[in-house]
Amino acid sequence: MTVDKAARAALNGQKPCVLWFTGLSGAGKSTVADLVEQRLHALGKRTMILDGDNVRHGLNRDLGFSDTDRIENIRRVGEVARLMVDAGLIVLVSFISPFRSERQMVRTLMEAGEFIEIFVDASLAVCEARDPKGLYRKARAGQLPDFTGIGSRYEPPEAPELRLPADEAPAEALAEQVMALLQARRML
């Protein structure tokens, strides 16, 4: 192809990358990703958010929540994110993505420095107290047997590029930490 990723990135005036927000349900991944996207948009940056709500209703509507389906969900999301990076976008991906091996697999799809793992770290107790969609209540009642953190494991990142203490700081402050990292890495 004549028009490549570098040409698209130059036209967009940014370095394409994937900001991969991982953490338990209710940790604040989507909230922080949305705030970051708003800040990037205000700077004139080209972005796209991928999260469970906009992917599970279309591309991945055929998948459930078994470990096998979760792995396939993340594989598909990773491939879409890679295509968007090739288009020169800053892609904000907000998924529980419970398994380290799948997050690492997505990292290998990208060039060095394009995958930024952001651990939105909130305790299970805090996430259960927030429970914005009532999912923990359903899981505790046995209605969601494979729910991450209750009936299915979550493997926190061992060395994320950024750890956001979501039960210690407000979402706005966490979004500023992401922006500071992007600026420090000269991604903007």
Residue 97 catalytic?
yes
DSSP annotation of 22 reads E
Distance CA 119, CA 105 (A): 16
Active site residue: 97, 101, 123, 152, which one? 97
Looking up tokens 């130059």 gives 10
113, 148 Cβ separation under 8 angstroms: no
Strands (E), 95-173: 115-121, 162-165
Q: Write down the residue that tokens 């800053």 correspond to.
A: 90
List active site positions: 97
